[in-house]
Structure formats: structure tokens, C-alpha cells
Amino acid sequence: MKNLLLASTSTLHGEDYLAYLLETLEDFFKDIDTITFIPYARPGGISHDEYTALVAKAFGTIGKKVVGLHTYEDVAKGISDAKAFFTGGGNTFLLVKQLHELELMDVLKNKILAGTPYFGTSAGSNIAGINMQTTNDMPIVYPPSFKTLGLVPFNINAHYLDPDLKSNHNGETRETRIKEFHCFNTTPVVGLREGSFIHIKGKNSTLKGAFKARIFEQNKTPYEGINLHF
């Protein structure tokens, strides 16, 4: 039975890394002592080692050990041996490129579907969807495919921002971009606001945190919701 925790962001403004999620993570990983961290999204271009150290410091406050997947000589075995996963945020294009080139996408998916707990933030949440085509990230690299894990029957738009009617910004809103996506794709999109996260256990999906999600379906008016059963 799949057990997923998918958050829009790792860090709320003015808080330490993962601080707002630590109580939830302590319960989510209550039977786990070691978490395998997938550092490939590399926010700000930091190294895999630097990223893993940041994560280890946060998880250390709730008594959990972290091992970076990049430290395994055989990364597929690292996936196979994992007791739980965390994939952090950064650049979704880079993350997806690495997972495809290392031939880990299906290996990781099968391990998660077998019941291994999976936690993702931002890019790490994006890859739980059908594809990465609703990411906000800049295409700094070219992945072999936009296909992702397909653990849920929708895409996530992490860091979703509502239109600011007082802004002088003339660029497209997130809602406009997702509407463009739905000109060519039928996949539902969940706009996940900062401070909100989804817990998926088996067939049950529960939206938690401070805000409802903004739900987008092809040929429908966007709506506020907590029901993620498509």
C-alpha cells in the first residue's frame, strides 16, 4: 500500500528547513530509523553532499538518520535497500534527468508501490505525478522524458500562487500557464499552496496544512478543494 507525503515547499518564510513539517514527519516516519535522501534536484546548484548534510541536520532533530542515495556505488541497490525515501526540492528538470539517466524511475516507483514511505517537497512532489509538465522550474537541462513516477493520477504545481490583482506584473499567472497545459493535456493539476501538503495512504488522499488546493481540470472552471479523487 503506497504511503506518500507530498509538500509544496520544504521551508516556510522565516523558518528553518523542514521546521513546519517536523511533527508530521516524526509521525510519518515513526517506524523508520534511516531515510534515503535523493539529492539530485540540487537547489541553487549546491552539491549532493551539501544538500544531504542540510537534510540530515533537520531529520536529526527528530532522531532520524539520513543517507544520500548518491553515496551508493550501485544506486539501484540503494533504492532496493531503502526503508523510506525523501526527495527534496530544487530543479525538477535536473531531478528527472538524473532519475531517467540512472534508470531509477521505474525502480523507485515499484519500491514505493510496494509500501516504502515516500516524502517529497517541491520538485520531489512534482515527480509523484503523471509527468513534470506543470513545474515552474527553468529548463536548465534536457531530460530524456517528461514522464515521472505516476504515483498519483494528477500533476502537482508546487508553490502555487494566486493571481495578485494589485500587482503591476504583466506576465502570465500560474492559472494561465495551467490553462495552457490543458489545451493539450487532460491530466488534472493540483495547485499546492505554501504550507499545504497531501498525505496519500492507499487510495485515500488527505489535504493538510494551512490552505485548500486550487484544482484544475480540463474544460472546467478552477475551484478550491480538498477532494483529490479524480
Active site residues: 122, 137, 159
| Residues 58, 59, 63: CA angle, nearest 5 degrees | 130
- Helix 105-113, helix 92-101: angle, nearest 10: 90
| Residues 94, 185, 42: CA angle, nearest 5 degrees | 10
Please, are residues 187 and 216 in contact by the beta-carbon 8 Å criterion?
no
CA 83 to chain centre: 18
- For residue 53, is it left (φ>0), alpha (ψ between -120 and 50) or beta? alpha
What separation in angstroms does the CA of 112 have from each of 2, 95, 99, 109, 125? 6, 17, 15, 5, 13
Closest CA to 82 of 131, 127, 41, 29: 29
Closest CA to 112 of 146, 139, 147, 148: 148
Cell of 219: 474544460
